[in-house]
Every structure is written in structure tokens, then in C-alpha cells.
Amino acid sequence: MKNRRSFIKNSLGLVAGMAAVKASNGMESVLFSADKLSFKQEPLPYAYDALESVIDARTMQIHHDLHYGAYVKNANDALTQENVVVNNEKELFANITKYSSKLRNNAGGAYNHAFFWRILRAPKPDNKPTGSLAAAIIRDFGSLDKLKEEFAKAATQQFGSGWAWLVVENGKLKVGGTPNQDNPLMKGVALQGRPVIGLDVWEHAYYLKYQNKRPDYVSNWWALVNWDEAQKNFDSK
């Protein structure tokens, strides 16, 4: 639990110098003073090659070090330039329409990628959810296979760059996509809810290995899903 709090504070939240509070998305957020507001790029919680053979090490290195790193830097630049003062990342995304496209895209990129690293683990044969999340999947989709089918549609039919998500809203699971670096916490996004799992379908996430075969990437990705982490996201309030 200590490691989880530390990861969320440093990677998914906005780094700050004051007391931690619980955001309604279930993650620990951090109150901060305006002069300390920033995102922090954290190292991967596993080796670059830990996700072989689904995602190759070179892709992971470029994706994490260069793409994610650029989002963090540019988000921090925009926060400073626009003198943003909010209490937590939920408030930032709830008011995202007030800010520039630079802040929207890069703050979304910083948050989404930190979430993405956390929801992955080494490939696991016959990888399945358990517990209340598994029961909710059966309740809301009929079966895990049906969820995968609906998720694949969201991921493969997302035109251009974007994300596919499984979210929970008012206790019900649903699937959808967001363009660019938008996420379901942002005001005005068609898909609203608390993220449970999310898949990056930008080409930089898969092109070196899969080229134009996004459906293969989406299908193989299920072996990497960290269902224990997804369960925590589902259970959080």
C-alpha cells in the first residue's frame, strides 16, 4: 500500500508540498501551492523488455523516455505560462476547457501515460480478472469475451491517434474511446467516468512491432493487463 501511494503521488497526481487528499476518481491527489505545481516523470515500474513479446523493449524505451517525457515537460511549461491554480488533477481536467490546447494535450498525455504504465504487467497466459470486477464485467457485458469485443471496436475504430478505455460511472462499466490525449475525466469528452483500464492506440505505442496492424496490437495487449490494478481502480471512489 505504501508503494502504491508513493507511485500515485509522484506519477498520476500533481506534485506538491501540502497534505494528500482523496479525489473522487479514487486516486490520491495532492494539494499544492502555485509555485510548486508540476507533473513528474517517473521511471517505468518494470524493465523496458518486461512486456516482451507483446510490446518490444525499443518501443517501450522510446514511448516512455521520449514521448512521455515530452508530455511532462510541455505540461509543466503550460502550467507555468498559464498560471494555473487548481486543487488536484480532477479539478484541472474538470476545467480543462478554460485552458489552452497545449495544456489540454500535454497534461492529458502526462496523466494518461502514467496511468498506462501502471495498468501493465509482464505477459500472463489466460489473463483474467477476478472478484467484483469480473462479476461487474459479466453483469454489464455478458462475458469477458464480449468486453474484449467492444473494447476492440473502440480501439480499432478510433480514427487517428487516441485511447480506448474501460470506465465506471454510477457503478456501471462502459467502453469507449477518446481522441488525442483526452481522457474520461475531462469536461466535455463524450466518454465520462473513472478509468479502470486504458489502452494507448497512438502509433508510437505499437508501430515498430505491428506497423499498420493495430488490431493485432489490441488483441495481444490483453495478456499484459494488470487486473489487480484494474480491480483497485474499479473499487476506488
Rg (CA), the chain: 17
pLDDT at 21 over 80: no
| Residue 146 structural domain | 131-235
pLDDT at 20 over 80: no
pLDDT at 222 over 80: yes
> Any idea what the CATH number is for the domain that residue 42 is in?
1.10.287.990
The total number of structural domains in the chain stands at 2
Q: Over the stretch 159-187, which tens digit does the pLDDT of each residue have?
A: 999 999 999 999 999 999 999 999 999 99
Looking at the structure, tell me whether residues 211 and 183 fall in a common domain: yes
pLDDT at 86 over 70: yes
Residue 126 lies in a domain: no
Looking at the structure, tell me whether residues 35 and 87 fall in a common domain: yes
Looking at the structure, tell me whether residues 200 and 142 fall in a common domain: yes
Q: 486543487: which residue's cell?
A: 87
Residue 100 lies in a domain: yes
Identify how many contiguous H helices and E strands the chain contains and give both numbers: 10, 5
> Any idea what the CATH number is for the domain that residue 142 is in?
3.55.40.20
Q: Locate 231 and state its grid cell.
A: 480491480
Which has the higher per-residue pLDDT, 50 or 32?
50
Residue 89 lies in a domain: yes
Q: Which of 84, 118, 152 is the last residue of a domain?
A: 118
Looking at the structure, tell me whether residues 104 and 202 fall in a common domain: no
Q: Locate 125 and state its grid cell.
A: 497466459
Residue 159 lies in a domain: yes
Which has the higher per-residue pLDDT, 39 or 210?
210
Q: What angle do CA 126, 127, 132 make, to 5 degrees?
A: 125
Contacts of 157 (CB under 8 A, 6+ apart): 177
